[in-house]
Amino acid sequence: MYAEPMTAPEGDWRAVADDLASILRTAMLRNPSLTPRDWDRAHAALERYERAGGGIPMVTELREAPKE
């Protein structure tokens, strides 16, 4: 796994939150073995982030939990 540098300058918590949300979205899409419980938790966290005014809303494909 490769670490990507964060784009936020020190002290910019909103930019850090945007970076983390983006990384979480990518991880959700790239991990087909994500359990439904973990998918729901990650999805709920991203929804809270969006309601707080963060970033770009999730795309429709992320709204459904993976099938087991």
Kindly provide the b/e burial profile for residues 41-65, where b requires at least 16 CB atoms within 10 angstroms of the residue's own CB. ebbeebeebeeeeebeebeeebeee
Two tokens, residue 65: 């939990």
Q: Tell me how many helices (H) and strands (E) the chain has.
A: 2, 0
More confident: 7 or 25? 25
Residue 6: the pLDDT is: 54
The predicted model scores a pTM of 0.60
Residue 14: the pLDDT is: 80
Residue 61: the pLDDT is: 47
| Structural contact between residues 20 and 52, judged by C-beta atoms closer than 8 angstroms | no
More confident: 61 or 23? 23
Does position 60 have pLDDT exceeding 50, yes or no? no
Instruction: Tell me how far apart the alpha carbons of residues 11 and 25 are, in angstroms, rounded to a whole number.
Output: 23
Residue 66: the pLDDT is: 58
